[in-house]
Amino acid sequence: MASLLHPDRVLYLVRGQKRIRAPLSQLYFCRYCSELRSLECVSHEVDSHYCPSCLENMPSAEAKLKKNRCANCFDCPCCMHTLSTRATNIPAPLPDDPTKTTMKKAYYLACGFCRWTSRDVGMADKSVASGGWQEPENPHGQRISKLIEYYQQLAHREKQERDRKKLARRRQCMPLAFSQHTIHVVEKYGLGTRLHRQRPGAPIASLTGLSLKEGEDQKEVTIEPAQALDEVEPLPEDCYSRPVSLPEVTTLRQRLLQPDFQPAGASQLHPRHKHLLMKRSLRCRKCEHNLSKPEFNPTSIKFKIQLVAVSYIPEVRIMSIPNLRYMKESQVLLTLTNPVENITHVTLAVCEDDDPDDVNSTSKVLVPSKELVLAGKDAAAEYDELAEPQDFQDDPDIVAFRKSNKIGFFIKVVPLKEEDTDVTVSFRMRHDFRNLAAPIRPSEEGGDAAHEAVWLTHHVELRLGPLAP
C-alpha cells in the first residue's frame, strides 16, 4: 500500500527549543553538534532573489528597488498564473505611403489558464514584445513617499541626538566626525545584520538603514497633516436595488493582491509584475555552521552544503501492517535503511514508563533486543558481480529480509486504546555515527586513526493506522 510509505507516518523527535516531531525528510542534521535540527531551530537567511518564470537572478539591492518584483514577467490579475505574450498581425498603414497597409505585429498579454487578456481591461496592444507594459501608478504614491522621507529624516535626527548625548559624556570633540564612528558602533551592538532584534525603545530602528549619507545637507522636509473631510461622497441611489452581476465583481483575493487600488470591478484589474522568490540558506543557531546553502544560479537545484538528516540518520519506514486488534499482539514489518557508507549498528529500545517524550503512543511495543547491523550503502554494488554478499547471521524471527543497505525487521505491537484514533507506537533508536567531517587527530601510535563513533539516540514515533473493524 502506498499510503504506508507516506512521510508523515514516521516522525522523529527534535529536541530544540520546542519539541518538534517531523518526518526525517524534513529535518536537518548538524554534524558539528551531532543533533537533529528542524526548520524552527535554524536561522533562515536570504541568499538570492530570482523570478520563478524567467529564472533571472537579481541582486538584493536591485530587488529592494523594484519592490521584489520581476521586470519582465506579469501575473494574471484574475487567476495569478503567469501571463504569456501573444502576437497578432494587424494591418497598419506604412509610414511612407498612407494608402498601402502592411501587416504589423501587435502584442498582447494573455493567460493560458483563465483566458484573461490585456484587452479585457482596455490595455492597448503594444508594438514591442517586452518592456512596453506599464503598471498603473499608485494615486497616493507621492504622498506616501513624502511621508517616508520625512520620517527617515526624523529617525536620522534622533539617532544623531543619541550619539551626541553619548559623546557629551565621553569627550568634547567634533561631533560630526565621531558620529560616523559611533554609527558603526551602534550598528555593531544594536542593529546587527544577522541577529536583527528590535529593541523595545527604538520603534523606528528599521528606518535608520535607509538613512541619508552622513555628509549630505539635509533639506528640511515638511509634511502637511492629513485633513479630515466632513462630507463624504454619497452612495449611488441604486446601491441597494441594482442586481449584482457576479462576473463583473472581483473576488476578495483578486482585490487584495493589488492593495494600491483594490478595484471592485473586474474591468479595472490590471496585471502586476511577478513576485520574486528567494533562495535561503539555513544556519544552526548553536554552532553557527551552515546546514543548507543552495547554489547561486536559479536554474540549478543543487546545494553547495546539504546537511539533510536523511543522509546521516538511518530511516525507519513501515512496510506492512496486519490487522490490528485491541489488546492483541500483532507483528508489524518495518524497514531500516542505512544512508552512510560504513556499517551501522542500530539498537532499539522501548520508551520508559515515565519518559517525558512519550506522549502520543497508544500501544505497547516489543522491539528486538539484539543489535541490528546494517551494511553500508555501496553505490557500485549492483555493477560489481564478483562481490560476495556479506554474511550477517540474521535471526529469522527478527530480521525478515536483507537487501544491500536495508533490512526488514519485526516489532510486536499491542494496541492499548480502543478508541477510533490511529494506533501510534514510539521507541528509541540508538545508532553509531561517525563524523567524517571532523579532522582526525593523529594518534600517538601513528597510522590512521579511525573516526570515533558517537552513539546517537533518537525518539521515533510511528502512526500505524486505525484498528481493524
Partner 1 sequence: MADKLNAQKSVKIAAGAVVCVESEIRGDVTIGPRTVVHPKARIIAEAGPIVIGEGNLIEEQALIINSYPENITPDSEVEPKTMTIGTNNVFEVGCVSQALKIGDNNVIESKADVGRNVILTSGCIIGAFCQVNTCEVIPENTVIYGSGCMRRVQTERPQPQTLQLDFLMKILPNYHHLKKTIKASQTTS
> Please, what is the minimum distance in Å from the beta carbon of residue 81 to partner 1?
10
Span from 49-57, 138-146, 241-249, 442-450 in contact with partner 1 (CB under 8 A): 241-249
The backbone region for 149, taken as left when phi is positive above 0, alpha when psi lies in -120 to 50, beta otherwise, is alpha
Nearest to 110 by CA among 89, 81, 137, 130: 81
Span from 246-254, 349-357, 391-399, 406-414 in contact with partner 1 (CB under 8 A): 246-254
> Please, what is the minimum distance in Å from the beta carbon of residue 87 to partner 1?
13
* Site size toward partner 1, by CB under 8 A: 13
> Please, what is the minimum distance in Å from the beta carbon of residue 258 to partner 1?
16
Question: Judged by CB under 8 A, does residue 76 bind partner 1?
Answer: no
Contact 70, 288 (CB under 8 A): no
> Please, what is the minimum distance in Å from the beta carbon of residue 269 to partner 1?
10
Phi and psi at residue 75, in whole multiples of 5°?
-105, 140
Q: In the range 96-115, which residues lie near partner 1 by CB under 8 A?
A: 113-115
* Closer of 124 and 154 to partner 1 (Cβ): 124
* Closer of 245 and 299 to partner 1 (Cβ): 245
> Please, what is the minimum distance in Å from the beta carbon of residue 273 to partner 1?
22
* Closer of 161 and 248 to partner 1 (Cβ): 248
Which listed residue (14, 78, 282, 307) binds partner 1 by CB under 8 A? Answer: 78
DSSP bridge pairs for 364: 414
Which listed residue (225, 234, 247, 446) binds partner 1 by CB under 8 A? Answer: 247
* Closer of 6 and 119 to partner 1 (Cβ): 119
Q: Hey, what's the cell of 41?
A: 531551530
> Please, what is the minimum distance in Å from the beta carbon of residue 247 to partner 1?
4
* Closer of 118 and 281 to partner 1 (Cβ): 118
Span from 224-232, 245-253, 309-317, 335-343 in contact with partner 1 (CB under 8 A): 245-253
CA-CA distance, 250 to 111, in Å (whole number)? Answer: 17
Q: In the range 309-338, which residues lie near partner 1 by CB under 8 A?
A: none
Binding mask 135-154 for partner 1 (x = CB under 8 A): --------------------
* Closer of 113 and 296 to partner 1 (Cβ): 113
CA-CA distance, 416 to 418, in Å (whole number)? Answer: 7
* Closer of 86 and 451 to partner 1 (Cβ): 86
Strand 372-374 relative to strand 363-366, pairing: unpaired
Residue 132: how many other CB atoms lie within 10 Å: 13
> Please, what is the minimum distance in Å from the beta carbon of residue 104 to partner 1?
19
* Closer of 118 and 338 to partner 1 (Cβ): 118
* Closer of 79 and 257 to partner 1 (Cβ): 79
> Please, what is the minimum distance in Å from the beta carbon of residue 115 to partner 1?
5
Nearest to 221 by CA among 126, 142, 150, 289: 150
Contact 211, 162 (CB under 8 A): no
Q: In the range 251-290, which residues lie near partner 1 by CB under 8 A?
A: 266
> Please, what is the minimum distance in Å from the beta carbon of residue 255 to partner 1?
14
Q: Hey, what's the cell of 212?
A: 541619508
CA-CA distance, 237 to 131, in Å (whole number)? Answer: 43
* Closer of 63 and 269 to partner 1 (Cβ): 269
Which listed residue (43, 53, 117, 360) binds partner 1 by CB under 8 A? Answer: 117
> Please, what is the minimum distance in Å from the beta carbon of residue 107 to partner 1?
16
Contact 360, 424 (CB under 8 A): yes
* Closer of 254 and 426 to partner 1 (Cβ): 254
Residues that bind partner 1 (CB under 8 A): 78-79, 113-117, 119-120, 246-248, 266
